[in-house]
Structure 1
Amino acid sequence: MALGGGRDCGNLPGVGLLEKLVALGPAASQQQVSQILSTELEHWRKNAKKATVILSGLARHRLPSLARLVLSVMLHSGIESNVFHYSAVITSCEKLGKWELALSLLNKMPQTGVLPDRINYNAVISTCEKGGQWQLALSILNSMPDLRAMPNEISYSAAISACEKSGQWQWALSLLSNMPVIADEINYSAAISACEKAGQWLLALNLLSNMPAVRLMQDAISFSAVISACERVGQWRLAVSLLLRKMPEMKVFPDKISFSAAISACEQGGQWQAVLGLLSKMPEVRTAPNSVSYSAAMSACEKGGKWQLAVHMLCSMHETGLAPNEMNYNAVIIASGKSFSWQLALGLLRDMSQTCFTPDEVSYSAAAASCELAGVWHLTVSLWSSMQAATTISLKLSAVPQVRASESAVWSSTHV
């Protein structure tokens, strides 16, 4: 009989210890965990590595709460914990951004006679980064030297990324310039991304340019971030120059992300010819366009009044085995609508409905506007009514309370 919300797996024959624990799920109680571990604890007392294996397994299954319960049972049973045990549990928190639990474990380590090491601190900083806690990440980073755990480039990379994701580009640059250790490519890329997200394209370009001077290799990630920064401020010529001239000059091979960023920059600048040129160059460097590339290209054609080219691109996606997404369909519906091709707009709307995509407000609005321009008023009214009905259903579905935590969703998706 089950003890609480999980399954009673303590006596299942032929099932390993890790599988029994995983079967309990994230809602397991400490009593259930104790029951399963009752015959194993003495083995763990003699060989601490066995506990590390189980805790690491729970981390791989993204079950931090369950891993914490296992650690708690160990401590209550008088089994000495070590830095590897805590590292495994904190790592499981990191994967899901459970920063509160990770910080609690870090603070508890000295109370159990375990001194946190740099790996523990780095994992907690990374957890804070994933949880959007940039100030806490900086606080932990600054406290490390006082606790005899000197930060390294990994520590700073996690802290810079935390600032980047929270839009704190000034702090990201400050950390990079004041690092007591030699910065690496990951540190620079994180700082460049922080500038990119804040629209600071000149600072991003300056960081990229400085990398060779400090003997760091520029790569596709750092270039892509600067190209994206150019896109945000309409610097499409510079974006294309970085992609087609500077990257080959530095022997950096452009990837899909680099091309998509440059194509988006051209699209923002209304340069549909440049977009087509970039699309045609992608196969030359053995890089196939993806849905993002096509979506930007279709939007550029729409802005340039080249609706036939947008339709051709949508057909090309089907021919190359690349499934169009909602953004691709919407871009072509908008393009065809502006050209008075209301029949085509309706056909695309119907195609969307027959696939796994549900037309949204953009889809219906564009198709309705096309019919309105063509004077087909009865279809215009019908489309507006369909859009209102679809919007109402969407709102009702979004109002359904999400009673499961992310950990429960991850567990249930892999243990049905």
Structure 2
Amino acid sequence: MDFSSRPSESITEHNKAIHRCGEQWTGALQLLQETERRRFRRDVVTCNSALGTLEKACQWQRAVQAVADIRKHRLERNLVTFSTMVSSHRGRGSWPDAVLLLCDIESCQLEVNSVTCNAVVAVLERTSQWSRAVSLLYTMQATRTQATIVTLNSLISSFGRAAESSKALLMTQSICKLHLQPTIVTYSSAVSACEAASDWKTGLEMLNAAHREWLQLNVILYSATISACGKSAMWLHALQLLREMEVISLEPNTITYSSASTACERAAQWQRALLLLDEMERIQVVPDVIVYNATISACEKVGHWRMALYLMSDAFSRKQLLPNTVTYNAVLAAYEKSSRWKTSTWHLNQMKQQQLQLDVITYNSVISACEKNSEWQYAVYMLHQLCTVHLDPSLITYNACISACEKGEEWQLALELLKEVELGRLQADIITYNSTISACQKAAQWQLALALLDQLTFLHVRQDVITHNSTMSACERAAQWQQSMALLSNTWRLAGRNDEISFNVAITACWTAIAAVQKSIGPT
């Protein structure tokens, strides 16, 4: 629509026309250009109307340019101008510029009001600058600028972005002391803070407080509370809240079910997760990839790889959803638990073909599946592939590879991998050393096993009975019965206990030594 084709006889009519543009910013700019063409003298209303249109349409960069034009033409600016200018910085994420505008207001001999401060607090909230938002609140109190419920809601929301649930709770409780009335936005923001901090108890408190205030509860508030419960695996509370929504005639949406499914997934309640998926289909709520990912992951946690595979097939054939890295990682984890390494590698290649982002979790699942099947060559190959794509292997990666080498009796390679861990930024743990010592034990490399045991002592890594049993077994295989007996006496002191294997290894070492002596002296 060509707004410039509508002639106006005065700047007042132009201002009204610009204001009527709403979010149609191109029309507003056309009218603004027409004021210049027709040599109308722009005033503060002209600029405010144009700025407001650009801000509503999220045309942040053009709003900044409009501000520059205001300065260029030395036009008068009022509080509406500054408030709109501040709001434009919210979309750009430029909180320093928003704060500087407060100083500009004072230089223009204008008095800062709640609206302008609220706009600045909103910018600070959007950019996760909660401490500066709190400082601004103190400044408002010092200058007797009235904080409104909008101010405090933005502050609570900023705490949510920083997962500061305790601060959100304190701010919510202080609202009544400031003689303000909390709104549903207040409690929704507070619950979102609890959700970010996985603080389900405080989240439930906030929901109950909203009940007591007789506020019109909504789906957003319930979804956030369910999500807070979900992150702490409080699946029973999550499902109770879902049923409560039915009682008060609130219709759960996809986000609500995603949160409830996540609660079931965290608690490995795979059957409940499946029931939620069926319920969504029954009430015609369309599941998204997050719901499917949570359900697949719930099945993975209990080793139901067939169900996990079926769900992935159902989601991406019948529902026409696109799998993502999280989806494949959940399926790969299920295959890893069931030791299906060939299927794992096939799905890994599928991810590459679909140009999905492979991460360390992806590779760890495949490597662990290979380790369970003693496929040490492929496990090491996957480690090299991981490094080739510039990912940093984790300790889990190395532990799985070393364990695969141990099962394949590749003690030298296990030692090389241990050296890589020590030279890198990772801290080897007892699992790393136990697997390496076990690899040495199978090759009767008793001196290396003892050296690794000494290294554990030097590094103050807590040893266990498995560590000592493997080292004793290495000595036993090399006919070093004295070393085995010495280790047996030290096992209780260093590892805390002996077990049946410890004594069996020591006895076997002694019998082997006796048999060797008898053989050397011949029959008597």
Question: What are the equivalent positions in structure 2 for 1:44-193 lying under 5 Å apart?
Answer: 46-59=147-160, 62-179=163-280, 180-193=284-297
- Match of 2:428, SS state, is coil
* Contact preservation (8 Å) 2:372, 2:404: yes
CA spacing shift, 1:61–1:239, aligned 2, 3 Å: closer
Task: Please tell me whether residue 302 in structure 1 is matched to residue 406 in structure 2.
Answer: yes
- Out of 313, 333, 338, the position equivalent to 2:442 is 338
Separation (CA, whole Å) in 2 of partners of 1:140 and 1:126: 11
Q: 1:41 to 1:305 in 2, by over 3 A?
A: same
More displaced 10-residue stretch of structure 1: 166-175 or 86-95: 86-95
Structure showing greater relative contact order (alpha-carbon pairs closer than 8 Å, 6 or more residues apart): 1
Which one of the candidate residues 192, 212, 218 is aligned to 2:323? 218
Following superposition, the deviation at residue 59 of structure 1 comes to 4.2
Contact 2:462 2:495 in 1 (8 A): no
* 1:81–1:114 CA contact under 8 A, matched in 2: no
For 2:45, the equivalent position in structure 1 comes to none
Assess if the C-alpha contact under 8 Å between 1:44 and 1:79 holds in 2: no
**Which stretch of the first structure deviates more once superposed, 251-260 or 62-71?**
62-71
Greater Rg, structure 1 or structure 2?
A: 2
CA 1:267–1:44 in 2, change beyond 3 Å: closer, same or farther? Answer: farther
What per-residue deviation string (whole Å, max 9, x for no partner) do you get for residues 316-375 of structure 1? 334555543432222111111222112111222233344464334433332233234334
* CA distance in 2 between partners of 1:252 and 1:70 (Å): 42
Query: Within 5 Å, which residues of 2 pair with 1:30-41?
Result: 40=141
Q: Deviations over 1:245-285 (max 9, x none)?
A: x2233332432211110111111112223323323333444
In structure 2, distance between residues paired with 1:45 and 1:378: 83
Given candidates 405, 420, 438, the residue that maps to 1:316 is 420
**Per-residue deviation, residues 17-53 of structure 1 (Å, max 9, x unmatched):** x76999xxxxxxxxxxxxx99x949979652232224
Secondary structure of 1:109 counterpart: helix
Change in CA separation of 1:240 and 1:121 when aligned onto 2, cut-off 3 Å: same
Pair 1:258 & 2:362 matched: yes
2:336 matched residue in structure 1: 231
Normalising by structure 1, we get a TM-score of 0.77
CA distance in 2 between counterparts of 1:196 and 1:392 reads 35
Amino acid at match of 1:240: T
**Percent identity over paired residues:** 31
Q: Where does structure 1 differ by over 6 angstroms across 4 or more consecutive aligned residues?
A: 18-22, 41-45
Aligned equivalents of 2:324 and 2:296: distance in 1?
12
Cα distance per residue 1:110-154 (max 9 Å; x no partner): 322432322221121112112322122112123324435432222
Q: How does 1:401-412 map to 2 (within 5 A)?
A: none
Alignment of 1:278-289 (within 5 A): 278-289=382-393
Q: Distance in 2 between matches of 1:344 and 1:280?
A: 26
Name the counterpart of 1:203.
Answer: 307
Bigger drift between 382-391 and 210-219 goes to 382-391
Contact 1:44 1:50 in 2 (8 A): no
Matched, 1:241 2:346: yes
RMSD: 3.3
How many residue pairs match? The answer is 364
More displaced 10-residue stretch of structure 1: 212-221 or 58-67: 58-67
Q: Is the contact between residue 45 and residue 79 of structure 1 (CA under 8 Å) also seen in structure 2?
A: no
